[in-house]
Amino acid sequence: MTGNGPGDNELAAMKEGAIVVAHMNALANKKDVQAMANAGITAIAMELMPRITRAQSMDVLSSQSNLAGYKAVLDAASEFGRAFPMMMTAAGTIAPAKVFIMGVGVAGLQAIATAKRLGAVVTATDVRPATKEQVESLGGKFLVVDPEMEKDAQTEGGYAKAMPPEYFEKQKKVVAEHITKQDIVITTALIPGRPAPVLVTEEMVKTMKPGSIIIDLAVEAGGNCPLSELGKVVKKHGVKIIGHENVPARLAEDASALFAKNLLNFITPHVDKEKKTLSLDWEDETVTGTCITRDGQVVHPLLTGQEEDEKAPVKEAGEKQAEESKPADSKDEESDTKKP
C-alpha cells in the first residue's frame, strides 16, 4: 500500500501476483497501468472508488480534496496583501475580501466554508445546479451560467459531466464580468484522463485588480488558468497565480492519516481473520470498481473502453483531488486529486 503507484524500479522488484493498493492516477497514466498488467500485478486504484454510501470512508478523493480546499484558502490569505474580514476601526473601515470559488465539489465546498469563516464575501459556480443549495447553506452566493444547459450537467452518480463548447462560451462571458470584481479566485475543476478545462483565460486575468490572487488546484492536469505554472507562484498582469503541486501534502500529517484510514477501511473487510491473510472479494463493488489490472490484463471498464467517459468520477483539484468539471461533489473533485 502506498500513496503513489509503483515506479519502474519498484515494479521490477515485485513478484507476480502481488497486490498494490494506491492512488494510481490510472486514467492519466495508461502506460503505467499496462506495465503493471504485464508484470502480473493486481493493482487497485483508490481514486476510482465507487461513490456509494458504504465506500465513503474509503474515498481518497474526498479526504484529500477536503484538505486541498482548506489549504487553498490559507495559501490565498498568506499571499493576499489585505485582511479577509470587514474591519471597522477608528482609522477607517476595511472592506471584506471577495472570494470566487469555481467548482463546488469537496474541495470547493471546504474552500467556501473556510473563506466564510475568515470573513470573506464568497461566491461560487458549478455546472451542477444541485450545488446551488450547498453553496447557499454555507453562506455563499451561487453564480448561475445557463440554467437550461445545467439541468443535464450531472451524471447518475452525482458527478459533473464534460460540458459542450457552447456552455463554456457562455461561462466565459458570465465569469469575465464577475471576475473583475474579485480579490481571490480558487479553481478546482478536473476531469480524469483529460486536460483540465480552462476557466480563467489570460484576458480575464488582465481585467482583475492588481494584487488579486488565483489559486489553481488543477495545475497538475494543465491548469484551469493557462498562466499557472506547476509548483510555482508567478505574477502575471499584476495578479499572483499560485500553482502548488500536491496541495494536500502541504498538510502532510493530516493527509497521510486520512489516506491511511481510507486504505485501512478498504482492506479490513477482506482480511481473513483466521488465516490472517488478505483475500479480496471479487464480487464486492469496492473491489471491482477499483481494480485496474488482474491476471496480466487491464480489466477496468474505463481503461478498456467499455464504459462511457462521462461516468468517470470528476476529481477536484484538490480534487484531487476535483473531477469535483467538479469538482468535483458532489464529491470533487473539487481540485481535484492529490496524494499524501
70 carries an active-site annotation: no
**CA 68 – CA 248 distance, rounded (Å):** 5
Cell of 274: 483466521
Residues in contact with 270: Cβ distance below 8 Å, sequence separation at least 6, in sequence order: 278, 279, 280, 281, 284, 287
Which member of 34, 56, 57, 256 is catalytic? 56
**CA 101 – CA 124 distance, rounded (Å):** 4
**Among residues 80, 61, 3, which one has the least CA distance to residue 318?**
61
**What are the DSSP E strand ranges found in 134-238?**
141-142, 184-187, 213-216, 233-236
Which member of 32, 62, 171, 332 is catalytic? 62
Which member of 32, 154, 159, 212 is catalytic? 159
59 carries an active-site annotation: yes
250 carries an active-site annotation: no
159 carries an active-site annotation: yes
**Among residues 321, 238, 300, which one has the least CA distance to residue 47?**
321
Residue type, 43: A
330 carries an active-site annotation: no
Give the number of other CB atoms < 10 A from CB of residue 166: 10
DSSP designation for 220: G
Q: Is 202 left (phi over 0), alpha (psi -120 to 50) or beta?
A: alpha
Which member of 59, 126, 183, 216 is catalytic? 59
**Among residues 340, 338, 250, 318, which one has the least CA distance to residue 102?**
318
Question: How far is CA 176 from each of CA 162, 203, 228, 309, 325, rounded to the nearest angstrom?
Answer: 20, 8, 18, 29, 18
Which member of 32, 51, 75, 325 is catalytic? 51
Beta bridge partners of 44: 21, 291
- The set of catalytic residues is 51, 56, 59, 62, 159
